[in-house]
Amino acid sequence: MEEKKPLLAVLAIQLVYAGYFLLTKLAFDVGMNTFVFVFYRQAAATLFLLPIAISLERKTAPPLPLSLLIKIFMLSLIGITMSLDIVGVGLKYTSASLGAATSNTLPVITFFLALLFGMEKVNIRSRPGLMKVCGVTLCIGGVVTIALYRGPFLKLLLHHHLIHNQIQPHLSPQNTWIQGVFLMLLANLCWAFWLVLQGRVLRSYPSKLLLTTLQCFLSAIQSFLVAISVTRDPNEWQLGWNIRLVSVAYCGIVVTGFTFYLQTWVVEKKGPVYLSMTTPWIMVFTIILSAIVLGEIITLGSVIGAILLVGGLYFVLWGKAKEEEREKGECQQIGDVEKACGGETTTT
């Protein structure tokens, strides 16, 4: 049972993210403003995390100079506020299933940015390096397929979805769909930028929970300014006891709070590659839930594109894992040689 805990944890994480895409899309479909939603989500996350972060890390937290605070502010602006606002508009233009499918590009985009920043290297003459290049190419092909090719409709459980009276299944026009796809990619680019630079910030401020809470707080302020500048109607800000409140609470508390702990635990137990390998399950869970709950229309092009995205993801992760194994093997050989040389010197 102990060996199955990491597997159960990652499945729970991906199921939570599938619920995020579903509930967010549902809230937008019933008329909730995307920018207002992001503000409420970040505010809820801040209120949830703040007492926990203070109680656990207040005494051990390092000082926070102004220069570092400015860096965290900019990181929150690009990686969280901009990313979530763009995702909101992209989801409104497309579907929950497509949002989940494009999430598979995140590890590949992160790798590409790390390559540009000199944090990753690719040797195309080696097999792992070639696999990485093939993975990036497959991901590009998947994105182009999803954006430009629709094909036949796959109406899974279309006449048996749970929410029939409130939401009618529909498919966005081609030009709107293409805009939504590229908005999703832009959001993933912002999020990948955040992931790459997050490591550098953590070296200066290693209190993970307080840093997360601070970024949620700064993002709440930023998203409020964005929302108030584009949404002046008071009715747009009303929540009530409805799907809007459920979506905000779920995204702010469950997605930010619950999955933060689980992801940290899984990475500690199994490593980041293990967690990344399960990312495609978000798409599988989202397609099933969207078909049952919303009766969402799925196209053949989306399925083919999603398969290419998943294939590209696994190619990149496989190449990276093989390179890490090779580096460990080389380090081990160097260590053995040094030990042997040291032993000979001592004997002599």
Quote the pLDDT of residue 165. 42
Contact 294, 25 (CB under 8 A): yes
Q: In the predicted model, is pLDDT for residue 310 greater than 70?
A: yes
- When pLDDT is cut at 50, 70 and 90, the band that residue 268 belongs to is low
More confident residue, 89 or 268: 89
Q: Categorize the per-residue pLDDT at 156 as very low, low, confident or very high, splitting at 50, 70 and 90.
A: low
Report angle CA 291, 95, 289 to the nearest 5 degrees. Answer: 25
Q: How confident is the model at residue 164, as a pLDDT? A: 47
The answer to whether 112 and 313 are in contact (CB under 8 A) is: no
The CA distance from 124 to 130, in Å, is 5
- The DSSP output letter for 169 is -
Q: Is residue 50 a contact partner of residue 252, using CB atoms and an 8 Å limit? A: no
Query: Cβ atoms within 10 A of the Cβ of 342, count?
Result: 10
At 77-114, the pLDDT tens digits run 998 899 999 988 888 887 777 777 787 777 777 777 77
Helix axes 174-204, 83-93, angle to 10 degrees: 160
Residues 6+ apart with CB under 8 A from 196: 110, 113, 114, 117, 119
The answer to whether 266 and 6 are in contact (CB under 8 A) is yes
Sorted by sequence, the CB contacts under 8 Å of residue 232 that are 6+ apart come out as none
Residue 22 contacts residue 99 (beta carbons within 8 Å):
no
CA atoms within 13 A on the CB side of 47: 11
Q: Which of 86-100, 164-178, 318-332 has the lowest mean pLDDT?
A: 164-178
Place of tokens 């899309």: 25
* CA distance to 11, 77, 274, 278, per residue, from 2 (Å): 15, 40, 16, 19
Do residues 26 and 294 touch, judged by C-beta distance below 8 A? yes
Structure confidence at residue 159 as a pLDDT band (50, 70, 90): very low
For 117, other C-beta atoms within 10 Å of its C-beta total: 12
Mapping DSSP to helix (H, G, I), strand (E, B) and coil, where does residue 146 land?
A: helix
> Is it the case that residue 218 has pLDDT exceeding 90?
yes
Residue ranges per structural domain of the chain = 2-347
